[in-house]
A and B are shown apart, each in its own frame.
Chain A
Amino acid sequence: MRTERTLQLFIVLTAVLSTSLLGISEQNPMLPVLMVMIGTLSFVLTDSLKWIKLPKIIANLGMLIIATYTVMEFIAQPSQRQLYSIARLLVYVQMIMLFQEKTYRIFGQLCVFSLLQVVVASLLSVSLEFGFLLFCYAILAVVTMALFSNYKMLRRIQMSKSRRTMVVPVEDVVADDTESKNPWLFLLGGEYKTIAKRSYASQLDGIVSNGFFKHMFGSAAVVLLFVVVFFYAIPRSGSSAWQHPGMTGKQRTGLTREMRLGGIGNILRDDSLALRVVFIKESTGEPFEAVDPYLVGTYLTKYDTSGDGHANWSAPSVSLHPGTYEVEYYKQYDEHLDYLVRQEITLELTYNNAQRSSQPLLVGVEPSFRITDTPEKVRRNPYTGQLFLDTRSRTARVDQMRYELITTAYANRSGVEETRTLTNQNQIQPIFIKSGRQRRQYYAVYRECSGYPESLSQLKDFTDVLLEEEVNLDRSNVTAVSSFLSNFLRSNTDYQYSLSQFDVASQRNQDMDPVVDFVLNHKTGHCEYFASALALMLRTQGFQSRVVMGFFGGEYNRVGKHYRMANSNAHAWVEVLIPPAEVGEVAIEYADADLMGAWLRLDPTPLSEETLTRSMVDDVVDSFEYLQYLWDNYVLRIDPSDQGKMLGAMGLEKIGQENAELSVRFLQMVGVDFSKGFLRNLLNPTVLVSIIIGFVLILIFAKTVGRLVKRSKRHRRKKRRSLQSTVAVYLKLEQILARHKIVRQHHQTQREFAMIVGSRFSTSGLNENLCTLPKRIVELFYRLRFGDNELDVELESHLLGELAILRTALAENSKSR
């Protein structure tokens, strides 16, 4: 009974853990809490006290109601959330079953539902806590399964009464005349019975009490080790996808292709993870601490104002040939170049659900270039300069994207006076043009970045006045003017940074353009307002400017040596086009290319006053964050190239590669090409036949090897027995001789000894057969001991017979003397 109680407890724990895994995935804490309560109640009321036992009909009715409700919910949900409905159905059914009387069927069904929940949760969750709980679940599941299988076995034995009892029916016996019952009927038939002496409960307790848990937990540890090896050894084919499927359906804030201004509301600070980026020096492979990097997301060049107090920045939509979307390689790439920095970015993707064919924006420090590890799906719009994920050929969404680019943004710090503290990212980005296409693109962008609506005339006037007041300012110098204006917005205490527009709602003039309203009127806003103001002010002066949206700053994780950027690190800044004359000395020269100018980065948003100090808690947080980073990169998103790198780190890359190439070529010969897609190839008849043949061949091979091993074991055992017999025969000879004081000396070999004994026997008058017996035994001994032969049973018995004769003859001989 004790063990049955333990099994019930473990089943409840398994159910709770699987629901917790689901709750983590769904980020719904109510589900695990509910399951804990239900599990506790069921364990106490149903299993221990047996007060509540749901009859089968009521349980079935309950499940039917839940199924109906879930189906309705399933239909109503968008496709990304439908999996949640299925998972919740499993949880609710489990809750009902926990209140039923536990038979082994119920236990089995609870285990299966628990496993299905874990499968669903695995598709939904990306967090480190999930991984940790999953390993705990694996250990618990192994132990539960062991308890369950033993319980089931004993319960079945207990219930199989038909095999333990057999009644031989008594045929009708004709009653005698008195019609009295014959008391001897039992002699004819009867019950054959058999029963074990111990009850099944005590047997179950006996199984569990003898080091069972120690054994099972040890086995579970071995299983976990196997899981790690299995996970990293199993070959991964196909494209470089292997990203976690986008099934979480989480609604994230993040980058969009437009910016709307003029809304009355608050922007909520969202500290959830947006991306992680690791900077690595390409020449040394060492982490590179880039301070406060600017990661560009989208360039917004078109400004529209609707006249009702709202305005809109957007990127131009240009239809281009798909071939032009390639991200360029850095033409002067050399891995030894000191200034090249690799950026490994893991980005939480956002999809614009309003557009079915939305292609998520990607970010990076610009200028960025592709490398061999950059996924093919990472593309760039040459006009807008935006990086994006090409999802046209993929039907499955992914939650995160990991990709690598290199950048030349850290070539040197020279060129322009730094306008922000401690950044070593170049502030200017020179524009070199080689081809006519590039030139056309440049002029298109030039046009896009010029001009402003007529409604901004007040802004122009304001800017003109502002610039006129600066007597020493060269208004034709783009750099000087833009720096001045940027400083003006950032340093002027009249302009306040705030995420809320509620505070200034009363001061808002809905008839004005929101940017003009900001600059001239309420002077309170967030980075988008500051950036928009600067960009438009520059345009009013005839300069080309654009608003850049991306990420800035973030937290540097000292443990993992990477930047963690939250959604709250999303930022907007401005880039202004400066003429070639103002560019100055560039870090990188391009041969046969014209310098058309450069983009100068300006950030007019006031800096935050708070200063952060690190504490031990930060180190702990960083460690967990780093573990999450490792989990994301080395578990959730490991792909064939990562596997190749890991094999290479173990020195196995070449071996793997060679074999892979050979096997790939072989497979392609028979018409199998996994690069075209696993499923399509699987449905190929050639592949199916090859798999079946392969499987059969493996089975035959395994059986043959097994038989050979068994045969060799038998052979070795036989040899060992034979060897022991030979040694025994020889030792017997020595014993017999020792009785007659004929002992082998230490310096004598067996052969020498046999010759001496033989000659002694011949002088003693023993017959020739006995004289040659020692020599024959020793020869046999040598042959078997060193010559790999085997002793025949007949020969052995013959020799033993001869030894008996020798013993008798020697005894007679010594008597006669």
Chain B
Amino acid sequence: MHKKTRIRITAQGVYYVLVMFFILGGAIIREVNMLVLLSGMLCGPLLLHWRMVKASMCGLTVQRSAPAVVTAGKPFQVDMKLTNSRQRLGSWAVKATDELLLHDGSTSGLELDVVFDYVGAQSDSTSSCYWQIPKRGKYSIGLRRIETSFPLGILRCFGSPMSQTEIVVMPHQGHLTPQWTNVIESDHHGLNDANRRRGYSEGDYYALRDWRSGDSTRWIHWRTTARVGDLMVRQFEQQRDRAVGVILDLHTSEQSGNRIDSNDELAEELAVSMASTIVRDLCQWHGSQLNFSYAGETQNSWTSVPSRAVDQEIQRKLAMLRSSASNDLSTCAQWLGGLNQPGLRIVVISTRSITDALAANPDCSDLSNALWIDCTDHQRVLRYFRPKTSRSNNKHAESGVLTTPVFEHAESMA
């Protein structure tokens, strides 16, 4: 991190210097020794302050640690560590200004001043702060300036180090309704027993299978593993969930061009948010197979065993995904068709109606039987997907402003 320090006089310092010169001038013109003494008492602190403020900034480095991936609307903590590599002098009241930069590098206008009260020689000091970003995307938090004007506030020494931390903000997470659960729950093929064992516990032992990424180590059957030579895990419940294939269709009309209509944008955000929640749900609680594909500005597909790593990867992609007028829905449909999974239940989350989609993509006729969730119709969406309910959210949701207990508490302390 390259840092070049500069010293500037503050507004308070301008007044101070003016007063000092006024007194010194008066002392010389009127030949009054007491005023010379007084001007010395003003000049001394100024010179001392100049040296101190310059020395305080030498040898300081700032490191930031922030989560690489966060969720939109949820506060996250960023830690900043200031290290003083000097042998002797400590630094007081060092202010680091962080700013939030958008994905294109432009500034968002949001800044935070973090003050390190004291960092001793050859030591460091950590200060934490909370950030909350309401919209998904890629951001970076950059250190705009580090400065100090300790002790007298007459001069200010600052440096502009280049230090940025990238943060990917995942889409908002919501709640999937019981109707959604019905969609993805399987029929009880071959079972006369209507004993539906559902829930979030591991359930009874069912069978042994190979270990897969994402399996808990507690499930490992060691005796079998020793015999076979490969990790074997207990499977605790039957394959209750149906094979589900989710397609995210982000389409925008050609007429809007560069300007995105707010309805379209809302539909896009809703679709992405729902898709993100579904993927997370599938990865955490349901299913032994994840089939997901999206078509927007880019197109991508996954079919794998649900795991945290897969979830993270998909969320990162969804964070940056934008709709397009020429998204490739056909490829998604073909890919899903090519999976050859019997009983695959296809769910399409789209920003347009099924009629429009099929009209634009005649070769996607397979999707006509799919569960089509048109995100332009928010009532329909609400059947399967609801926003996360908290007292604050209910209060502010209509105004479009979210707040969280973390910020309420922090602001009350401030």
A residues neighboring B (CB under 8 Å): 108, 112, 115, 118-119, 122-123, 125, 134, 138, 141-142, 145-146, 148-150, 152-154, 157-158, 160, 163-174, 176, 178, 180-200, 203-207, 209-212, 215-216, 219, 222-224, 226-227, 230-231, 234, 236-238, 241-245, 396, 635-638, 678-679
- Residue pair B92, A122 in contact (C-beta under 8 Å): no
- Residue pair B95, A178 in contact (C-beta under 8 Å): no
- Residue pair A191, B152 in contact (C-beta under 8 Å): no
- Residue pair A150, B93 in contact (C-beta under 8 Å): yes
B149 at the binding interface (Cβ < 8 Å) = yes
- Residue pair A187, B47 in contact (C-beta under 8 Å): no
- Residue pair B110, A166 in contact (C-beta under 8 Å): yes
* A608 vs B108: C-alpha distance when bound (angstroms): 91
- Residue pair A196, B114 in contact (C-beta under 8 Å): yes
Task: List 28 A-B residue pairs with CB atoms under 8 Å apart, sorted by A's residue number.
Answer: A138-B41, A154-B115, A157-B115, A163-B109, A165-B110, A172-B262, A173-B262, A176-B377, A182-B266, A183-B378, A184-B387, A187-B172, A189-B134, A193-B403, A195-B410, A196-B112, A203-B115, A207-B92, A207-B115, A210-B120, A219-B45, A222-B44, A223-B44, A224-B44, A226-B43, A227-B41, A230-B36, A638-B33
Q: A146-B150, A153-B93, A207-B92 are in contact. Are A188 and B52 (CB under 8 A)?
A: no
Give the 3 A-B residue pairs with the shortest CB-CB distance, closest first: A190-B134, A149-B153, A206-B117
* A377 vs B269: C-alpha distance when bound (angstroms): 92
CB neighbours of A197 from chain B (8 A): 77, 127-130, 410
* A216 vs B152: C-alpha distance when bound (angstroms): 10
8 Å CB contact of B402 from A173, A190, A638: A190
- Residue pair B112, A636 in contact (C-beta under 8 Å): no
- Residue pair B92, A194 in contact (C-beta under 8 Å): no
* A126, chain B: closest CB distance, angstroms: 9
B75 at the binding interface (Cβ < 8 Å) = yes
* A196, chain B: closest CB distance, angstroms: 5
**Nearest opposing residue in chain B for A634, CB measure:** B33
8 Å CB contact of A190 from B34, B37, B400: B400
**Nearest opposing residue in chain B for A636, CB measure:** B33
Digit string of B42-68 for contact with A (CB within 8 Å is 1, else 0)?
011101100010000000000000000
- Segment from B24-32, B227-235, B364-372 that makes contact with A: B24-32
8 Å CB contact of B35 from A122, A167, A193, A196: A122
- Residue pair B110, A145 in contact (C-beta under 8 Å): no
Digit string of B231-255 for contact with A (CB within 8 Å is 1, else 0)?
0000000000000000000000000
**Nearest opposing residue in chain B for A635, CB measure:** B33
* A208, chain B: closest CB distance, angstroms: 8
- Residue pair A153, B149 in contact (C-beta under 8 Å): yes
8 Å CB contact of A122 from B37, B44, B117, B396: B37
- Residue pair A182, B172 in contact (C-beta under 8 Å): no
* B358, chain A: closest CB distance, angstroms: 23
- Residue pair B112, A183 in contact (C-beta under 8 Å): no
CB neighbours of B115 from chain A (8 A): 153-154, 157, 196, 203, 207
**Nearest opposing residue in chain A for B43, CB measure:** A230
CB neighbours of A108 from chain B (8 A): 12
**Nearest opposing residue in chain B for A118, CB measure:** B38
B398 at the binding interface (Cβ < 8 Å) = yes
* A194 vs B134: C-alpha distance when bound (angstroms): 12
Q: A196-B114, A210-B90 are in contact. Are A183 and B397 (CB under 8 A)?
A: yes
B residues neighboring A (CB under 8 Å): 12, 15, 19, 23, 28-38, 40-41, 43-45, 47-48, 52, 73, 75, 77, 90, 92-93, 95, 98, 100, 108-115, 117-118, 120, 127-135, 149-154, 172, 262-263, 265-266, 269-270, 273, 377-379, 381-382, 386-387, 393, 396-403, 407, 410-411, 413-414
CB neighbours of A396 from chain B (8 A): 30
* B307, chain A: closest CB distance, angstroms: 27
Q: A149-B12, A176-B379, A227-B40 are in contact. Are A219 and B73 (CB under 8 A)?
A: no
- Residue pair A153, B95 in contact (C-beta under 8 Å): yes
* A491, chain B: closest CB distance, angstroms: 50
* A448 vs B401: C-alpha distance when bound (angstroms): 104
Q: A185-B397, A207-B93, A241-B31 are in contact. Are A163 and B41 (CB under 8 A)?
A: no
- Residue pair B33, A637 in contact (C-beta under 8 Å): yes
* A215 vs B129: C-alpha distance when bound (angstroms): 29
* A138 vs B34: C-alpha distance when bound (angstroms): 13
A115, A125, A169 — most chain B CB neighbours (10 Å): A115
* A635 vs B48: C-alpha distance when bound (angstroms): 23
8 Å CB contact of B32 from A173, A182, A223, A244: A244
8 Å CB contact of A187 from B270, B396, B410: B270
* A238 vs B30: C-alpha distance when bound (angstroms): 10
- Residue pair B40, A198 in contact (C-beta under 8 Å): no
Given A122-B34, A182-B266, 15 other A-B residues pairs in contact with their CB atoms under 8 A: A122-B37, A123-B34, A138-B41, A141-B41, A149-B154, A157-B95, A168-B134, A169-B400, A192-B100, A194-B98, A196-B128, A196-B410, A196-B414, A210-B118, A678-B29
8 Å CB contact of B31 from A115, A146, A153, A236: A236
- Residue pair A163, B110 in contact (C-beta under 8 Å): yes
* B172, chain A: closest CB distance, angstroms: 6
CB neighbours of B12 from chain A (8 A): 108, 149, 152
- Residue pair B118, A206 in contact (C-beta under 8 Å): yes
* A120 vs B324: C-alpha distance when bound (angstroms): 75
* B402, chain A: closest CB distance, angstroms: 6
CB neighbours of A638 from chain B (8 A): 33
**Nearest opposing residue in chain A for B131, CB measure:** A194
* A154 vs B399: C-alpha distance when bound (angstroms): 31
Q: A157-B113, A187-B273, A192-B108 are in contact. Are A167 and B401 (CB under 8 A)?
A: yes
* A163 vs B15: C-alpha distance when bound (angstroms): 27
* A637 vs B31: C-alpha distance when bound (angstroms): 10
- Residue pair A227, B379 in contact (C-beta under 8 Å): no
Q: A153-B95, A158-B414, A197-B130 are in contact. Are A192 and B32 (CB under 8 A)?
A: no
Q: A203-B115, A245-B32 are in contact. Are A188 and B110 (CB under 8 A)?
A: no
* A244 vs B36: C-alpha distance when bound (angstroms): 12
* B19, chain A: closest CB distance, angstroms: 7
CB neighbours of A188 from chain B (8 A): 262, 265-266, 269, 400
CB neighbours of A194 from chain B (8 A): 98, 100, 110-112, 129-132
8 Å CB contact of B37 from A176, A206, A227: A227
* A172, chain B: closest CB distance, angstroms: 7
* A196 vs B97: C-alpha distance when bound (angstroms): 11
CB neighbours of B377 from chain A (8 A): 176
B15, B115, B131 — most chain A CB neighbours (10 Å): B115
CB neighbours of B73 from chain A (8 A): 186, 190
CB neighbours of B110 from chain A (8 A): 163-166, 192, 194
CB neighbours of A158 from chain B (8 A): 414
- Residue pair A170, B33 in contact (C-beta under 8 Å): no
CB neighbours of A636 from chain B (8 A): 33-34
8 Å CB contact of A216 from B113, B149, B151, B413: B151
* A230 vs B40: C-alpha distance when bound (angstroms): 6
* A244 vs B152: C-alpha distance when bound (angstroms): 31
* A43, chain B: closest CB distance, angstroms: 23
8 Å CB contact of A173 from B30, B109, B113, B263: B263
CB neighbours of B401 from chain A (8 A): 167, 186, 189-191
- Residue pair B397, A186 in contact (C-beta under 8 Å): yes
B29, B37, B410 — most chain A CB neighbours (10 Å): B37
8 Å CB contact of A223 from B28, B34, B45, B133: B45
* B359, chain A: closest CB distance, angstroms: 22
CB neighbours of B36 from chain A (8 A): 230-231, 234
* A148 vs B135: C-alpha distance when bound (angstroms): 40
- Residue pair B111, A163 in contact (C-beta under 8 Å): yes
- Residue pair B131, A193 in contact (C-beta under 8 Å): yes
- Residue pair B93, A226 in contact (C-beta under 8 Å): no
* A245 vs B178: C-alpha distance when bound (angstroms): 93
- Residue pair B108, A166 in contact (C-beta under 8 Å): yes
- Residue pair B93, A186 in contact (C-beta under 8 Å): no
- Residue pair B38, A195 in contact (C-beta under 8 Å): no
CB neighbours of A176 from chain B (8 A): 377-379
* A609 vs B153: C-alpha distance when bound (angstroms): 65
